[in-house]
Amino acid sequence: MENEIRLIRKTRFLTAIFMAGLFVSGATAIPLVSETNWLANFLNASDKSSAAAEWLGRVHSALVQTQSQFPFLFYGTDWLAFGHFVIAIAFIGALREPVRNRWLFDFGLIACALVIPYALIFGAVRGIPFWWRIIDCSFGILGFVLLWFCRKWARELESSLKS
């Protein structure tokens, strides 16, 4: 019984971290102009010649122009945020009952694995620097690792409860 409680706690902890990551990731898709302004200023203050500072300055400039001329385009990133929030909410099932809702871990593992080709292919098509695409891929890798352990522990828990 002690082992089952430990497995449930560990699984819930990593599931909660995954959900928080989805929520934060979604929330950052909303205030893009102020976010990129802050990041560009931060990087410029520390190293004016960095590729990251140049890229974020360029992105910020494009966002400012888009906001002034075509603010309705930001509605797409609002929906992107909504998608992240909804996926995080779906994982409440896995948080509550990890064995019964183990399929959510499978779903999440597939989604995390798909982040890598998606970021590499569409990032290249859209002219995103390779180093930025690697950062995007790292989110898929981190999520995959978290969910892999959750799935592993949910299976162990299921086996333990059957015996």
What pLDDT score was predicted for residue 12?
A: 98
pLDDT above 90 covers a percentage of the chain that reads 83
Mean pLDDT over 30-47 rounds to: 84
Instruction: Kindly give, in sequence order, each residue whose CB lies less than 8 Å from that of residue 113, ignoring residues fewer than 6 positions away.
Output: 140, 144
Per the rule left: phi > 0, alpha: psi between -120 and 50, beta: everything else, 127 is left
Q: Tell which residue, 9, 39, 146, 8, has the closest CA to residue 88.
A: 146
Q: Could you identify the residue written with the tokens 């995959």? A: 144
Instruction: Kindly give, in sequence order, each residue whose CB lies less than 8 Å from that of residue 66, ignoring residues fewer than 6 positions away.
Output: 73, 74
Mean pLDDT over 93-112 rounds to: 97
What pLDDT score was predicted for residue 76?
A: 96
Residues 40-78 have pLDDT tens digits of 888 776 665 688 888 888 999 999 999 999 999 999 999
What pLDDT score was predicted for residue 53?
A: 83
